[in-house]
Amino acid sequence: MEKNLTVADKLKKKYHKTEEVTNFKDMLYRSGDIYRSRTVFKLKDENGNIKRISYEELKNDVIYLGTNLIKNGFLGKRIAVIGKNSYKWSVSYLAASIVGIVVPIDKELHSDDVINFMNVSQTACLLGDNKNLDTVLDNIQKVENPDTYFISFEDKFNDFLNDGKKLYLAGFTDFDNIKVDPDELRILLFTSGTTGSAKGVCLSQRNICSNILSTYGIVKVKRSDLFFSVLPLHHTYECTLGFLLPIYSGASICHCEGLRYIAKNMQEYHPSVILCVPLLLEKLHKTIVKNMNKSLPEKYRKQNDDNPYNSLPFFMKKIVKTKVKNTLGGRLRVFIVGAASCNPNIISDFRDLSLNTLQGYGLTECSPLVAGNTDFFQKDDSVGLPIPNVEYKIDKPNSEGIGEIIVKGPNVMLRLL
């Protein structure tokens, strides 16, 4: 009977088991209860010391922020979030998506574009960094909703959250009573897509939760894992796989302070998982190869930045592998790479160093993952196979096999705005 199974069926039998969730509130409460005292975020305090946030603290902070958002009349409203990757951004995203509809906005956009997205989405409240809020407030006459409420992460957020805590502990528990329809619009993102003109992508929480479960089924996330968040959280790639997936899995998250601090932060946090784009992977690879050629005895060095690793004797490979791993924080085990094609030779070189590199393909409209290399199937020059519960095909391929990619599955968006 086993011989008659297709390759896909054989792979399905190997998938990691998942526990069904269809909305963020259930996921938050589930993780808050199961992983209660475990660390969900590693953050730096004002003195640069690393502190830990537990799953129970995250759950409570989302409840408290959400409670005050409800009290201020934002139940069912569009709530935008803008700013650098941070714990406050994360809490705001979860609270906003449970209380109303969250609108994540790119912090690098010009103020005119930010305001345009606020107007199109009918934003009632904007939470974010001072830098981003100030550019909007300086052009407040362009904001169509005169009652837009602004909550600065630096100045107002903590007081707003603490007021929510007082309300909740005093018996205002409306947040607990929210029933999230997993199939209604809860996440509204703006993306340029392939046409160059910005579109509003309407996602449900089932869309994203299905993507979390599909990914967990094919890529094992350990509770001991620490995700190093480098890419912007307003993108579904980082948000779904680098933020929500680890929360579902009981893992931990830390935030990069900026591209120039990657090496420093990796030494401070010791991450085990990094989501990245090929350019970042290429730069890391180039640095590693350059340092190898600089530090190895002259007879083992290569010219023109060629990788010397495979020419080394066995005993030296082990030493080099350990040194490379230590420069990346000592615990790194996997890169998840997407957004563009990756050089297969780089993927192969990292595997030789015991650093697994999983390339995938996705898009915002699919929450985002569509296909990927997995724990059970890897092909260096491919984006892999369709993720569980997702189907795709190339429509009307030309002689070179190039055509439109058509995707079907629970991760596909509700509609475009």
pLDDT in tens, 232-280: 999 999 999 999 999 999 999 999 999 899 999 999 999 999 999 999 9
The arithmetic mean of pLDDT across residues 126-155, rounded, is 97
pLDDT band at 2 (very low <50, low <70, confident <90, very high): low
Cβ-proximal residues to 320 (8 Å cutoff; 6+ apart), any chain: 292, 296, 309, 312, 353
Answer whether residue 298 shows pLDDT above 90.
no
Q: How many CA atoms lie within 13 A of 291 on its CB side?
A: 13
The pLDDT assigned to 196 comes to: 59
Closest CA to 374 of 208, 225, 216: 216
- Going 368 to 373 to 222 to 259, the CA torsion angle's sign is negative
pLDDT digits (tens, 9 = 90+) for 40-51: 999 999 899 999
Q: Could you give the percent of the chain with pLDDT greater than 70?
A: 98
The arithmetic mean of pLDDT across residues 393-402, rounded, is 92
Cross-strand pairs, 44: 50
Whether domain 1-34+210-417 has CATH 3.40.50.300 = no
pLDDT band at 157 (very low <50, low <70, confident <90, very high): very high
Residues of the chain with CATH 3.40.50.12780: 1-34+210-417
Mean pLDDT of the chain: 94
Contact status, residue 226 vs residue 269, Cβ threshold 8 Å: yes
Class of domain 55-179: alpha beta
229, exposed or middle or buried, with CB in 10 Å at 0-12, 13-18, 19+? buried
Please tell me whether residue 246 adopts helix, strand or coil conformation.
helix
The arithmetic mean of pLDDT across residues 292-320, rounded, is 87
The pLDDT assigned to 191 comes to: 86
Contact status, residue 53 vs residue 43, Cβ threshold 8 Å: yes
The pLDDT assigned to 3 comes to: 67
pLDDT band at 286 (very low <50, low <70, confident <90, very high): very high
Looking at residue 314, its amino acid is: F
Closest CA to 104 of 119, 116, 115, 93: 93
User: Which range has the worst mean pLDDT, 9-18, 151-160, 337-346?
Assistant: 9-18
Contact status, residue 136 vs residue 114, Cβ threshold 8 Å: yes
Answer whether residue 6 shows pLDDT above 80.
no
Q: Hey, what are 392's tokens?
A: 């795709």
CB atoms within 10 A of CB 395: 9
Contact status, residue 237 vs residue 201, Cβ threshold 8 Å: no
Please tell me whether residue 140 adopts helix, strand or coil conformation.
helix
Query: DSSP assignment, residue 241?
Result: I
Cross-strand pairs, 199: 191
The pLDDT assigned to 387 comes to: 96
Answer whether residue 93 shows pLDDT above 70.
yes
pLDDT digits (tens, 9 = 90+) for 334-353: 999 998 889 999 999 999 99
Residues of the chain with CATH 3.40.50.980: 55-179
Q: Could you give the percent of the chain with pLDDT greater than 90?
A: 87
CB atoms within 10 A of CB 163: 16
Query: DSSP assignment, residue 304?
Result: T
pTM exceeds 0.85 for this model? yes
CA dihedral 378, 380, 382, 383 (to 10 degrees): 60
Answer whether residue 20 shows pLDDT above 60.
yes
pLDDT digits (tens, 9 = 90+) for 117-134: 999 999 999 999 999 999
Q: Rounded to an integer, what distance in angstroms lies between the CA atom of residue 332 and that of residue 355?
A: 7
Looking at residue 130, its amino acid is: N
The arithmetic mean of pLDDT across residues 374-380, rounded, is 93
The arithmetic mean of pLDDT across residues 7-26, rounded, is 90
